[in-house]
Amino acid sequence: MSTLHIIETATGKTMPDTIERTRAASIAWKLDNSGFFYTRYPKKGEVAEDEEVYHRRVFYHELGGDPARDALVFGKDLGAENWPNVDLSNDGRWLLISVEQGWTKSELYIQDVQGGKQPVRITEGKDFLYSGQIYNGKLFVTTNEDAPRYRMFVADAATPARANWKEIIPQSDAILQGAAIVNGMLL
């Protein structure tokens, strides 16, 4: 398993914080750089030895804190082979958690981290792929839901239920392979 080390980029100094069991970690820093959300695997003995490379969960680490005390943010009841990833909105309010369930299904969860609320599933029970990003309070979702060549929706992050999604890029003859918001522009 890998160990996560933190380097202060301005000085090149390696920080004392190290976190074990973080192979292929997904990380989302708070805007004030005081800590970050990340994915980690269980400690030896917490699960059967042949399952130690599964059970990936989301934690929060405050810089300078003991990683053994990091709060479990998401994934307590996830299936062993589910693969969560994290992304924090540009304003630091919303944590978007995407959970891959094999190659053909994923789900999205959203959490208001400033309000201290639990993550809410927004794509429950659908056998499609979803990816997303939150920018300026808007949730942008790319999916193959009823669109094998993909399409994109937008919704208010505060009301992310599927019924509130508005299609902004319909499926076309071309495949929508990806999208990103950079400097306020949708690419």
Q: Can you give the residue ranges of every domain in the chain?
A: 1-88
pLDDT reading at 52 higher than 90: no
Alpha-carbon torsion, ordered 61, 64, 67, 68, to 10 deg? -130
Q: At 51, is the secondary structure helix, strand, or coil?
A: helix
Mean pLDDT of 23-51: 94
**pLDDT for 91-108, tens place per residue?**
999 999 999 998 999 999
**Residue type for position 51:** E
> CA-CA distance, 34 to 145, in Å (whole number)?
37
Q: Is 16 exposed, middle or buried (0-12, 13-18, 19+ CB in 10 A)?
A: exposed
Render pLDDT for 9-36 as a digit per residue (tens, 0 to 9).
Answer: 999 999 999 999 999 999 999 999 999 9
Q: State percent of the chain over pLDDT 90.
A: 84
